[in-house]
Amino acid sequence: MKIYTTNKVKEHREIAGLTQTELAERVGTKRITIASLEREKYEPSVGLAMRIAKTFNCAVEDIFTEVNKD
């Protein structure tokens, strides 16, 4: 069984009216990292996940969810 992390980064970013570049600047990373997160091709560090959640004023669990897949 594998555990995958799904996320709602793009959804929250669009609701906030931010570009990928603007979000990246706010959380201290590169735009390509945000793009990779949105495509679920990158697993964020705990620190990055927390900074993203703080930017959107919500809990990490509201954005990132672990899913078990067989």
Q: Residue 6 in 3-state DSSP?
A: strand
What pLDDT does residue 3 have? 57
**What topology is assigned to 2-69 in CATH?**
434 Repressor (Amino-terminal Domain) (1.10.260)
Q: pTM surpassing 0.75? A: yes
Predicted confidence (pLDDT) per residue in 15-47, tens digit: 999 999 999 999 999 999 999 999 999 989 999
Q: Is the dihedral of CA 28, 29, 35, 39 positive or negative?
A: negative
